[in-house]
Amino acid sequence: MTTLKNINKHLCIKRLMKRKPNIKVIMYSIIALGFLALTFLVDWMFIIGAIILMYLNQRELKKK
């Protein structure tokens, strides 16, 4: 016996599987991780680049 809650859960999972990944967000995240690594390895000022990319990521994610 399937309930309406189970059907909605199944449809939600299907919808999530069909969505394409946002390439812009993925690239911003990878670059930000690079800046974080540079922060620990080279100079603490690289954290500014990571913060800017974090802001851009949030802006990109809130568009949709």
pLDDT digits (tens, 9 = 90+) for 15-50: 666 778 889 999 999 999 999 999 999 999 999 999
User: CB burial class (10 A; 0-12, 13-18, 19+) of residue 28?
Assistant: buried
- For the cut 80, the answer to whether the pLDDT of residue 56 exceeds it is yes
- Rounded to the nearest angstrom, the gap between the alpha carbon of residue 53 and the centroid of all alpha carbons in its chain is 11
**Does 35 map to a domain?**
yes
**Does 8 map to a domain?**
no
pTM here is 0.68
Query: Sorting pLDDT into bands at 50, 70 and 90, what band is 13?
Result: low
> Which pair of tokens denotes residue 17?
């599987």
Looking at residue 14, its pLDDT comes to 66
Question: Rounded to whole angstroms, how far apart are CA atoms 12 and 14?
Answer: 5
- For the cut 70, the answer to whether the pLDDT of residue 64 exceeds it is no
- For the cut 90, the answer to whether the pLDDT of residue 4 exceeds it is no
Range of the domain at 47: 20-62
**Does 9 map to a domain?**
no
**Does 46 map to a domain?**
yes
How many separate domains does the chain show? 1
